[in-house]
Amino acid sequence: MHDALHITLILLASAVVVVVVFRSLHLPAVLDYLIVGMIVGPTALGLVQASEDQRYLAEFGVVFLMFSVGLDVEDATGELEELLGVGHRVGL
């Protein structure tokens, strides 16, 4: 469990730093989390080694990413209906 805590702290600390940078550039936070995972992971800097704990945390990350996308889709349904309504008025 100590390894999972260590991995979590590294990922959260690096995500906080990159979120600050991305907010100043007006970029979405989801990109931040994906980039932090790629950079900190075992293929780039190697701060977090491939392990069973990392895989367990990655599965939670995918669930949260899908939840975030689901919230965006729910917000966009009104915009889609509005866009389709404009298309009917224009003759599409």
Predicted TM-score (pTM) of the model is 0.53
Instruction: Give the span between the Cα atoms of 75 and 80, in whole angstroms.
Output: 10
In a structure prediction context, what are the per-residue pLDDT tens digits for the chain, which is 92 residues long?
457 788 778 878 888 888 888 888 888 777 887 888 888 877 788 777 777 767 877 788 788 877 877 776 665 566 666 666 666 655 55
The alpha carbon of residue 16 and the mean position of all alpha carbons in its chain are separated, in whole angstroms, by 13
